[in-house]
Amino acid sequence: MGYVWLIPVLPLLSFLIILFTRPVIYKKAGIVGTLFSGAAFVGSLIVLFSHFQEGNYLVEANWLSIDAITLTVGFEVNPLNALMLVIVTLVSFLVHMYSIGYMEDDERIATFFAYLGLFTFSMTALVMSPNLLQIYFFWELVGVCSFLLVGFYFYKPEAKAAAKKAFIVTRIGDVGLLVAIFLLYWQAGTLELDGIFSAAESGAITPTMITIIAILIFVGAVGKSGQFPLHTWLPDAMEGPTPVSALIHAATMVAAGVYLVAVMFPLFLASEAAMTTVAITGGVTAIFAATIALVQNDIKRILAYSTISQLGYMMLALGTAGYTAAVFHLTTHAFFKALLFLAAGSVIHAAHEQNILKLGGLGKKLKGTALLFLLGSLALSGFPLFSGFFSKDEILASAFSDERYILFGLALFTAFLTSFYMFRLYFLVFAGEGKGGAKESPRTMLIPMAVLAVLAVFSGFIQTHWFGTFLGDWLETTPYPVIFSSVEAPLWIPILASALSIGGIALAWLMYVKQSVPHNWLYGSIKEVHQVLDRKYYIDEIYQGVFVKGLFVFSYFWSYFDRFIVEGTAAAMRGVVTQLGKTGVKVQSGQVQTYGAVAFSGLVIVLLVIAALGGYFQ
Amino acid sequence: MTESYLLTLLVFSPLLGIILLCFMSPKHHSIKWIGTLSTLLPLLLTIIVFSLFERGIEGVQLQQSHTWFELMTSISPNEPYIISFELGVTGLSVLFLFLTALITFLASFTAHRMKDGLKGFFIIFLALELGILGVFSSENLFLFFLFFEITLVSTFLLLGRWGGFHKERAAFSFLIYNGIGSVLLLVVIITLFVELRTTNITELTLMLKDTDSLEYLSYDARMWLLVLLVVAFGTKLPIVPLHSWMVRVHVEAPIAVVMIHAGVLLKIGAYGLIRFGGGFFPEQLQDMAVVLAILGLINLLYGAFIAFVQTELRALLAYSSISHMGIVLLGLASFNSAGVQGAIFQTISHGLIAALLFLLIGVIVDRFGTTRLDELGGVASQTPLFAGFFLAAGLASLGLPGMSGFISEFLAFLGVFKAMPVIGAIGVIGIILTAVYILRAVLAVTFGERRPSFDRKADLTATELVSSSVLLIMIIWIGVYPAILTSTLGTIGIGG
C-alpha cells in the first residue's frame, strides 16, 4: 500500500492541469476531471481490498522540527480511512461525471472542475491523515474549496453572502479544534493519533483536560457538520451549483465533523461529559432541523435541513457509543443524499425552478429522475429494507441501549418527520398535474444517479443483524482503542421505526395527493408555530442582531477611539514638538528643518547621557 | 578572500545605480529600466550570500571588520573608544536580506507607472534599499544606527515628494514618531557603548550574558534600556498606540514604497526586538513577557476590529498589519522555541504577503482608480486573473494552511498556549476576526455584480503576473515546507 499517496495526488493533478490550461481545455475539463477522479476511485478500491488482506498501514515522516518540537506528516490506512476514501472518491467521480452535463452551458466550467479537483484532493488527504495537525490542515482546505464553490456564481449577491457566511461560521468551529490541538500538544507531547490515545490511556492527561479537549474538538465538528448552533451556514450554502451541494454539502465535507469525532473516539470515550454533549447536540439538531424542513419550499433547502438532521443522527450515535452505527449511517447517507441532490439538480436543470410549490407533475415528464428520487426518498425515510432503514435502526438501538430514552424518543419522532417532509417534497414535485414543460436530463447525468440509487437501496446489507455485521466486524480491526458496543436491538424498535416511516409517507400522501387532510392545517390552526418554523426559529435574525451588529458597534467604537483619542493625542504632541521647533530653532517652517530639530534634540540628549555616565566613570 | 567583502559589496551595490542615475538626464526614457536593473544586482548578490551561508551553524557568518575611527575622551585618555565597520549575517538576517532585495526588485516594477520625477525617485529608492540592506548586515550598533537613519531619511523623502494627497501630513507624522524612536535607540546604543566600550553586537551579547557585567549595568538599568528599546522598535513594528504614523504611510506613500514599507521596513522593529531586546537583555525581556503578551494581544484585536470597519483598502491593510504584528509580539512573549520561531516565521511570512497584497493594490489603483471598497466590486468578471491572485493573497493573510501565514500563526500560538494559555485563548478570537475582515475586503473587490464602468480594464500584465506568482509561490512553498526556514534560521537563542 505504499502507493496510497497517489489517491490525493491524482485529483491534485487534475486541479493543476485544468487551472493552468483553463482557456484551452474549456469544456474538456469535465472529461479530464472525471478521468482523474475515476482513477482515484479505482485506487481507493484497490486500497480497500488490500486492506482486507494486509491490514492497517501507516507511514510517517518529519515535517518540521524546532528544538524538542517535532511535527510529522504521513498517511494511514485503517478501516475507517479506507471506507472514507472509497466513499469520497466514488461520490466525487460520479459528481464529476454528472457535472459534465449539468454545467455544460456555464462559461466557467473549467474553473468549476478545477475546484472540484482541489476539493477531492483535500478531502482524500484529510481522511488519510494520521495526525491532528494534518487533519486540521486539510480540514481548512476543504473549507476553502467549499467557500469557493458556494461562491461560484460570484456575481450573485446571495452567493457572495453565503460563501462568506460558510467560511466564517465554520471558522468559529475550527478555532475550537485549533485550541484543542494546542492543548493536546502540550498535554500529550505529540499530535499523532496513536501518541494522543496512549497518553490519554496512561493517565498523562487529566480527566478534566480530556473533557475540555474533547469538547473543543467537538466544537470544530459542530461547525463543519452544521450542527446546532453553528448550522446556519449550511442551508445558505445551497447557493452553490447543485452537484457541489451533493458532493460537499451532503456526502463528504459536512460528514467530516462526524468523521473527526469518530477518529478521536478513544478520547471521547474517556469523558462521560463529552459523550453526553455529543449525544445531546446530535439529538437536538436532528429534530430541530427536521421540524424546519417541514415547512420549507425550496427543494435544495429542504434537503439541506435534512442533511443537518441526519448528521445530527450520526452525532447522536457517536454520543451513545455507537461507533459502527455512526459510520454506517455516514456511508448510507452519503449515497442516498448525494442521489437526492443530484436528482434535485436534474429537476432544476429541467424545470429551471427550485420552489416546490411552483413545481408539480414532473413524474410524467421526468420518469427516470422521478424514479431515482423516489428510491432516494425511501432510503432516507428508512423504508424497510432500504439502506437508511438499517443504518437508522442501528442508531436507534444505540441510543436505546445507552439508556438515553429522551433522545431515543426524539430520534424516533424525527424518523416520522423525515419521511413526512421527504414525501411532501416528492409528491409536490412529481405527483399531480404538470406545470410547464421539462425535458429529461442527458445520460451523463442519469447514469451517476443510477449508480447511487443502487447503493442507496442495497448498501444497508453491509451491516445487518440478519445477514451479518460485516461493517462492524471490519471496523473493529482499527489500530486504535475504540470500544465497540455490539447491541442487539429489541425487535420492536425496527418495527416501530418502520411503522413511523410508513406513517409519515402515508400522511404526506393523504395531504398532498389524496388531499383528504388539509395541507395547510398547521398554518391554519397554529399560525405562530408555522411562522417560527418558517423563519427557522429566528436564529439567523438573532445572530444578525446580536453578533453581527455587536461586532459593528464594537468595531466602530474602537475605530472612533483610534481616530479621535489616539490621533488626537498624537496631534497634541505634534503641536508641542512644532512649537519647540519654531521657538527653539527659529527656522522657516518645513519638514526637513523639523527633522533637523529632532536630530538636534537627539544629539543634546546623547551628550547629556555621555556627560552623566562619564561623570560616573570618574 | 573575496568572500569577506561580499557583504560590503552587497550593501553598497545600490550605489552603482544611484551613480548611474545621477549622470542621466531626467527625461531619458530608460530611467525606469536602469532603476529596475539596479535593484537586480543586490538581488543576485543576496542569492550568492544565501548560498554561501552555511546552514545549521550557530553564530555570525561572512564577517568582516575594520577599525573605522577612534574616539579619544578626556575620561579615559589611554583607552580610546573604537568604532569599527563590522558586517556579518545570521540566519535571521540572511532571510531578511533576501526578502529586502526580492521585494525591492518587484516593487521597482510598480514604480514604472509613476509619471514624474522618476530619476529622483529611483535615486532615493535605491538609497532606501542600501539603508535596509545595511541594517540587516550590520554587526555593529553604530553602523546599524547609521543605516537605520538612512532608511528614515529616504522614506521621508519618498513619502513627502511622491506621496498621495495628504503626503505632507503623512511625512511629518512619520518623521516625528520615527525621529523620537531613533533618539531612544541612540540613547541605548550610547549607554551600552559608554559602559561596555564596544558596539559590536556579538560581543555585547556575550558580555551582557556574563554575570560580571552586572557591575557596569544593574538589573534596573538594563530594564530601562530594554523599555527604551521596546519603545524604539515598537514604534517601528508598530505597537498600539504608536501606530498612527504607519497607517498614514500605508495610505499615502507610493505603492512601491508601501510594498517595501509593509514588507520589510516594519520588520526592522521585530528584528530589533529579537536581535537586541532578546539578545542583550533576555532576563529582563522574560520578566516583561506578560506585558509584551498583553501588548501583542491588544495589537492583534485592536487592529482586527478597526480593520473590519475600514472603507478604504490601504487603511484596512494597515490595520491588518498591526493585527498581524500582534502575533509577532505574542510569539516573542511566549519565550519558548515554538513561539519565538513562530514570531520570526510571521515576520517573514507577513513580509511576503503584505508585499503581494500591495502589489495587487497597485493594480487596483492603476486600473480602477480607487481603493474605496464601495466604489469597487465585481471585478472578477473583467479581470479574473487579478481576482484569483487577490483572493489567494487574502487567504494567505487569513492564515490558510498550505500558505506561510498558517504555520507562523500556528507556531506562535502553540508557544503562547504553553506559556500563557489564557492570553492564547483570547488571542484566537483574532483568528476569526481576521477571516471576517479579509473576506469582507476581498469579496467587496472581486465578487458582486459586474460594473459596466470596469469593462475593458486590462487584467494582469505579464510583469505583474510574474511578480505576483513569484511571491505567491514563495508563500505556498513556506506553507507546505516550512523546514526551508528553520534550516536557515537555526536555533534562535532567545531566553535560551
The average pLDDT across B270-290 equals: 90
pLDDT: is B217 or A58 the higher one? Answer: A58
The average pLDDT across B107-113 equals: 90
The answer to whether B306 contacts A606, with C-beta atoms less than 8 Å apart, is: no
The average pLDDT across B421-449 equals: 92
The average pLDDT across B241-250 equals: 89
CB–CB of A315/A279 below 8 Å?
A: yes
Q: Pick the most confident of A60-74, A190-204, A211-225, B475-489.
A: A211-225
Give the model's confidence band at A436: pLDDT under 50 very low, under 70 low, under 90 confident, else very high: low
The amino acid present at A450, given as its one-letter code, is A
What confidence tens digit (pLDDT) does each residue in B24-69 have? 887 778 888 888 899 999 999 999 988 888 877 777 888 887 777 7
Give the model's confidence band at B316: pLDDT under 50 very low, under 70 low, under 90 confident, else very high: very high
How confident is the model at residue A609, as a pLDDT? Answer: 66
Give the model's confidence band at B170: pLDDT under 50 very low, under 70 low, under 90 confident, else very high: confident
Among residues B420, B377, B249, B260, the alpha carbon closest in space to that of B318 is found at B249
Give the model's confidence band at A285: pLDDT under 50 very low, under 70 low, under 90 confident, else very high: very high
Percent of chain B at pLDDT exceeding 90: 53
For residue B418, the distance in angstroms to the closest alpha carbon of chain A comes to 7
Range name among A306-310, A535-539, A602-606, B453-457 with the lowest pLDDT average: A602-606
Q: Provide the phi-psi class of A69: left if phi over 0, else alpha when psi is between -120 and 50, else beta.
A: beta
Question: By the CB < 8 Å criterion, does B448 face chain A?
Answer: yes
Q: How far apart are CA B153 and CA B134, in angstroms?
A: 14
Which residues of chain A make contact with B172, given a CB cutoff of 8 A?
574, 591, 594
Percent of chain B at pLDDT exceeding 70: 95
Question: By the CB < 8 Å criterion, does A20 face chain B?
Answer: no
Give the model's confidence band at B173: pLDDT under 50 very low, under 70 low, under 90 confident, else very high: confident
Q: How far apart are CA B98 and CA B489, in angstroms?
A: 13
The answer to whether A559 contacts B309, with C-beta atoms less than 8 Å apart, is: yes
Q: Cα-flanking dihedrals φ and ψ of residue B138, to 5°?
A: -70, 135
What confidence tens digit (pLDDT) does each residue in A452-509 have? 999 999 998 888 877 778 888 888 888 888 888 766 778 888 899 999 999 999 999 9
CB–CB of B264/B202 below 8 Å?
A: no
Q: How far apart are CA B142 and CA A32, in angstroms?
A: 62
DSSP H or E segment with residue B69? strand B61-71
Query: A69 to chain B: nearest residue by CA?
Result: B338
How confident is the model at residue B130, as a pLDDT? Answer: 94
CA angle A538, A541, A546 (to 5 degrees): 120
DSSP H or E segment with residue B65? strand B61-71
All cell numbers assigned to A418: 423525515
Show the DSSP H helices in A55-156 as ranges.
79-102, 109-127, 132-150
All cell numbers assigned to A445: 447525468
Q: How far apart are CA A445 and CA A373, in angstroms?
A: 13
Q: Cα-flanking dihedrals φ and ψ of residue A266, to 5°?
A: -55, -35
The average pLDDT across A230-246 equals: 93
**CA A228 → CA A178, A272, A287, distances in Å?**
20, 20, 11
Question: By the CB < 8 Å criterion, does B413 face chain A?
Answer: yes
Q: Which B residues in the span 216-255 are in contact with A, Cβ-Cβ below 8 Å?
A: 240-241, 243-245
How confident is the model at residue A79, as a pLDDT? Answer: 92
CA dihedral sign, ordered B96, B137, B276, B230: negative
Q: Out of A66, A168, A614, whose CB is closest to B75? A: A614
**CA B456 → CA B360, B370, B452, distances in Å?**
18, 16, 9
CB–CB of B62/B52 below 8 Å?
A: yes
Instruction: Return the residue in B174, B322, B417, B472 with the most chain A beta carbons within 10 A, the one to mutate for interface testing.
Output: B417
For residue A354, the distance in angstroms to the closest alpha carbon of chain B comes to 22
How confident is the model at residue A313, as a pLDDT? Answer: 93
What confidence tens digit (pLDDT) does each residue in B368-406 have? 888 888 888 888 888 889 999 999 999 999 999 999 999
pLDDT exceeds cutoff 50 at A55 = yes
What SS3 state is found at A495?
helix
**CA B357 → CA B128, B316, B330, B392, distances in Å?**
21, 11, 24, 10
Instruction: Return the residue in A185, A562, A607 with the most chain B beta carbons within 10 A, the one to mutate for interface testing.
Output: A562
The average pLDDT across A405-409 equals: 92
How confident is the model at residue A477, as a pLDDT? Answer: 86
Beta carbons within 8 Å of A294's beta carbon, 6+ residues apart: A417, A420, A421, A424, A522, A533
Range name among A18-22, A364-368, B347-351 with the lowest pLDDT average: A364-368
Percent of chain A at pLDDT exceeding 90: 56
CB–CB of A352/A435 below 8 Å?
A: no
- The mean predicted confidence, pLDDT, of chain B is 88
Which residues of chain B make contact with A208, given a CB cutoff of 8 A?
none
Give the model's confidence band at B295: pLDDT under 50 very low, under 70 low, under 90 confident, else very high: very high
Which residues of chain A make contact with B449, given a CB cutoff of 8 A?
155, 157
- Per-residue b or e along B45-78, where b marks 16 or more CB atoms closer than 10 Å to that residue's CB: bbeebeeebeeeeeebbbebeeeeeeeeeebeee
What confidence tens digit (pLDDT) does each residue in A312-358 have? 999 999 999 889 999 999 999 999 999 999 999 999 988 888 988 88
What confidence tens digit (pLDDT) does each residue in A94-125 have? 999 999 989 988 888 999 999 999 999 999 99
- What pTM value is reported for the model? 0.91
Give the model's confidence band at B417: pLDDT under 50 very low, under 70 low, under 90 confident, else very high: very high
pLDDT exceeds cutoff 80 at A588 = no
CB–CB of A343/A371 below 8 Å?
A: no
pLDDT exceeds cutoff 70 at A615 = no
How confident is the model at residue B495, as a pLDDT? Answer: 38
Give the model's confidence band at A579: pLDDT under 50 very low, under 70 low, under 90 confident, else very high: confident
How confident is the model at residue A606, as a pLDDT? Answer: 67
Question: By the CB < 8 Å criterion, does B320 face chain A?
Answer: no
**CA A195 to the chain's CA centroid:** 27
Q: Out of B378, B401, B436, whose CB is closest to A136? A: B401
Q: Which A residues in the span 49-88 are in contact with B, Cβ-Cβ below 8 Å?
A: 62-69
Residue A545 carries which DSSP code?
A: I
The answer to whether B175 contacts A562, with C-beta atoms less than 8 Å apart, is: no
Give the residue carrying C-alpha cell 486500497. A47
ipTM of the complex: 0.91
The average pLDDT across B9-18 equals: 91
